[in-house]
Amino acid sequence: MNYYSINKVSPTVDFKTATINGLAPDKGLYFPEYIPTWSKDFINNLSQLDKATIGFEIMRPYVGNTIPDNVLMEIMRETLAFDFPLTKIDDNTYCLELFHGPTLAFKDLGARFLSRCIGYFAREKNEKIIILVATSGDTGGAVADGFYNVPGTEVIILYPSGKVSEVQEKQLTALGGNIHALEVEGDFDDCQRLVKMAFADSELHNYGMLTSANSINISRWLSQQVYYALAIAQWKEKSAPVISVPSGNFGNICAGLVAQRSGLPVKQFIAACNTNDVFSRYIETGVYNPLDSVQTISNAMDVGNPSNFIRILELFNGDYQLIKKHIASYSFSDEETAAIIANLYKKNHILLDPHTAVAYAAMNAWQNEHQHDKGIILGTAHPLKFAPVVEKIINQKVAMPKKMAELMKKTKKSTLIQPNYSIAKQEIINILVNSN
Ligand SMILES: *Cc1c(COP(=O)(O)O)cnc(C)c1O
């Protein structure tokens, strides 16, 4: 399998180069040359297969010969070393819980897969690999955890100051070692812009191989297909499910759309958004109008110009009608999200985190118009990860999981910077020089 840049200027590359490059030299996102078709046997037998085999079968065509089969299988075993249960929310809706990994959010899977692939490539190349990542909260924590102590790697995380939760901030800033945090006085879009500029800066490439760990990286993006296969593996209903995905940068849902193209039975996708509703309005009007992001209680979805929108266009050849047919989209205010959390807790004693609650709200909206549809919402974060927000909503204290309580005792270490490229660049160089 080769990957081309969506900007069509840079040459096509294999999985290894696309993973290490992150972004193509022409600043385009990479896209696979073709979407593999999964065999009927594989799809029909998903419930019989173990997680690592499912992951291996899905990723093998994408990885090609850049990682030997036995190494890829081991990477998959390590990546998927926690549970992904499908639990009942109400009569028509289930939740695929993607938050049982080390940082209690769904990005653990993609980040663990990526870090282990990069770790393999760094050993093979015997060269330092620098991971540069912008985060609105959860990406950074998952990446930090995934790469912590992976030999041959230095991780630099840019996050918006004051716009991530306390737990998220600790996950980004308290590990030390090969994990470094730049605290940007701006929003996520500023962080993303600075990272994009750093990649385009040839001088920085002298310090090692630069790579991104954002959802734009094909390793993270494509490995998320495994969630959807794990959902179908546990799906007992006769007809294919509607799947509602809490969406910010649209990497996760775009992976689901790729899995569907490969043959996975999904009736309909729903892109569930908070007040950052650029995509919802695109579905409604056909006009894509990126905006500055606004802050919400589901802050990992506070994205005003989703990076993966362009991949959705690519997947559907820019055909708006086709996109509209495959993806419904709804957006909800913080008040509506809070009401959903409070009601479900009162009625069924189930606690959802704010991101998952947005997906549940969207599923309810869909089911109001399609009474017989049964569906799956993706549970992208553990409710206790957002304890301060949910406690206010349900008016009750919730216990912090032990892993998190220990993390909270550690000391934050970050460098505060203005959202200015020359300042960011100097700090990045300082970190790299001092870590040698
Ligand atoms: C990142 C994140 C999202 C959004 O995922 P995208 O792939 O960026 O659309 C949703 N929920 C949580 C908890 C997240 O961390």
pLDDT digits (tens, 9 = 90+) for 345-364: 999 999 999 999 999 999 99
Most confident of 104-118, 149-163, 218-232, 394-408: 218-232
Q: Is residue 248 part of a domain?
A: yes
Q: Is residue 258 part of a domain?
A: yes
More confident residue, 22 or 260: 260
Best probe residue, ligand 1, of 226, 252, 276, 303 (max atoms within 8 Å of C-beta) = 252
- Mean pLDDT across 253-265: 98
More confident residue, 156 or 205: 156
**Does one domain contain both 135 and 193?**
yes
- Mean pLDDT across 86-113: 94
Q: Nearest-5° angle of CA 2, CA 227, CA 63?
A: 20
Q: What is the distance of C-alpha 319 from the center of its chain?
A: 25
Percent of the chain whose predicted confidence (pLDDT) is above 90: 82
Q: Is residue 51 part of a domain?
A: yes
Residue 168 alpha carbon to ligand 1 centre in Å: 13
Quick one: pLDDT band at residue 127, thresholds 50, 70, 90?
confident
Residue 380 alpha carbon to ligand 1 centre in Å: 7
Question: What is the structure's pLDDT at 43?
Answer: 98
251 pLDDT higher than 90:
yes
Q: Who's near 312: CB < 8 A, 6+ residues apart?
A: 250, 253, 254, 257, 323, 327
pTM (global) more than 0.85: yes
- Mean pLDDT across 50-64: 98
Place of tokens 């216990």: 399
Secondary structure of residue 89 in the 3-state scheme: strand
137 pLDDT higher than 80:
no
Quick one: pLDDT band at residue 181, thresholds 50, 70, 90?
very high
Q: How many residues does the chain have?
A: 436
289 pLDDT higher than 70:
yes
Strands 93-97 and 86-90: antiparallel
More confident residue, 204 or 402: 204
215 pLDDT higher than 80:
no
Q: Is residue 3 part of a domain?
A: yes
Residue 271 alpha carbon to ligand 1 centre in Å: 11
Beta strands in 161-266 (DSSP E): 179-184, 209-212, 242-246
Handedness of CA 318, 324, 328, 334 (dihedral sign): positive
**Does one domain contain both 182 and 293?**
no
**Does one domain contain both 409 and 280?**
no
Place of tokens 């300082």: 430
Question: What is the structure's pLDDT at 436?
Answer: 63
Question: What is the structure's pLDDT at 159?
Answer: 96
Q: In this structure, are residues 133 and 147 in contact, taking their beta carbons and an 8 Å threshold?
A: no
62-72 residues labelled b (16+ CB within 10 A) or e (exposed): bbeebbeeeeb
Which amino acid is located at 217 in the chain? Answer: N
246 touches ligand 1 (CB under 6 Å): yes
Question: What is the structure's pLDDT at 230?
Answer: 98
272 touches ligand 1 (CB under 6 Å): no
Strand partners, 245: 271
DSSP string of 283-301, one letter each residue: HHHS----------SSGGG
CA 356 to ligand 1: nearest atom = 11
Q: Is residue 25 part of a domain?
A: no
Q: Is residue 193 part of a domain?
A: yes
Tokens, residue 313: 């266009």
Residue 41 alpha carbon to ligand 1 centre in Å: 31
101 touches ligand 1 (CB under 6 Å): no
Alpha-carbon gap, residue 325 to 309, rounded angstroms: 16
417 pLDDT higher than 90:
yes
**Does one domain contain both 145 and 255?**
no
**Does one domain contain both 208 and 253?**
no
* Closest residue to atom 15 of ligand 1, CA basis: 138
**Does one domain contain both 123 and 57?**
no
CA 250 to ligand 1: nearest atom = 9
Which strand (E) or helix (H) includes residue 257?
helix 251-261
42 pLDDT higher than 80:
yes
Q: Is residue 371 part of a domain?
A: yes
252 touches ligand 1 (CB under 6 Å): yes
**Does one domain contain both 350 and 271?**
yes
385 pLDDT higher than 80:
yes
383 touches ligand 1 (CB under 6 Å): no
Secondary structure of residue 286 in the 3-state scheme: coil
Containing domain of residue 6, as a range?
Answer: 1-17+38-81
Question: What is the structure's pLDDT at 93?
Answer: 98
Which domain CATH number covers 62? 3.90.1380.10
8 pLDDT higher than 70:
yes
Residue 126 alpha carbon to ligand 1 centre in Å: 33
Residue 248 alpha carbon to ligand 1 centre in Å: 6
Domain total in the chain:
3
**Does one domain contain both 357 and 407?**
no
Q: What is the distance of C-alpha 359 from the center of its chain?
A: 15
**Does one domain contain both 364 and 322?**
yes
274 touches ligand 1 (CB under 6 Å): no
401 pLDDT higher than 90:
no
**Does one domain contain both 184 and 194?**
yes
- Mean pLDDT across 56-62: 98
Residue 207 alpha carbon to ligand 1 centre in Å: 31
Q: Is residue 100 part of a domain?
A: yes
Q: In this structure, are residues 309 and 296 in contact, taking their beta carbons and an 8 Å threshold?
A: no
250 touches ligand 1 (CB under 6 Å): yes
Percent of the chain whose predicted confidence (pLDDT) is above 70: 100
Quick one: pLDDT band at residue 125, thresholds 50, 70, 90?
confident
**Does one domain contain both 184 and 230?**
no
CA 247 to ligand 1: nearest atom = 9
Which domain CATH number covers 347? 3.40.50.1100
144 pLDDT higher than 80:
yes
Question: What is the structure's pLDDT at 354?
Answer: 98
359 touches ligand 1 (CB under 6 Å): no
Alpha-carbon gap, residue 311 to 316, rounded angstroms: 9
Q: In this structure, are residues 420 and 427 in contact, taking their beta carbons and an 8 Å threshold?
A: no
* Closest residue to atom 8 of ligand 1, CA basis: 249
**Does one domain contain both 335 and 292?**
yes
